Amino acid sequence: EAGVAQSPRYKIIEKRQSVAFWCNPISGHATLYWYQQILGQGPKLLIQFQNNGVVDDSQLPKDRFSAERLKGVDSTLKIQPAKLEDSAVYLCASSFKETQYFGPGTRLLVL
């Protein structure tokens, strides 16, 4: 069974630019999560989808971050405009019930 796929794996941008990340969850997993992992810290939840609906986006900085999952499968996370403090690994996870499986992450460096 294929795991969670993410692209790109690495991205370097300058501050105030925009960037988008893509995630393809495990087939059949209705729930999809985006996490931000800053160096030296554990992942922090940004947004949770159930199919194509948002369950929780309370920790998403909505002035610059947006996410969508239009057809209830793939998801994109966008940052516009990026700030230096957005440098982190962005992890996508999907789940069926209580077990979450993570993708390899996208490493973002904002200069």
Binds another protein by CB under 8 A, chosen from 43, 46, 94, 108: 43
Write down how long the chain is.
111
Of 4 and 108, nearer to another protein (C-beta) is: 4
Binds another protein by CB under 8 A, chosen from 2, 41, 53, 63: 41
Q: Write the interaction track for another protein spanning residues 21-40; mark x where CB under 8 A is met and - where it is not.
A: ----------x-x------x
Binds another protein by CB under 8 A, chosen from 79, 95, 108, 110: 95
Strand ranges (E), 8-85: 10-13, 19-24, 31-37, 44-50, 53-56, 65-68, 75-79
Q: What share of the chain is helix, strand, coil (3-state, %, to 5)?
A: 5, 50, 45
Per DSSP, 85 falls in state G
Which residues of this protein are in contact with another protein, per CB under 8 A?
A: 4, 31, 33, 40-45, 48, 50, 55-56, 91, 93, 95, 97-105
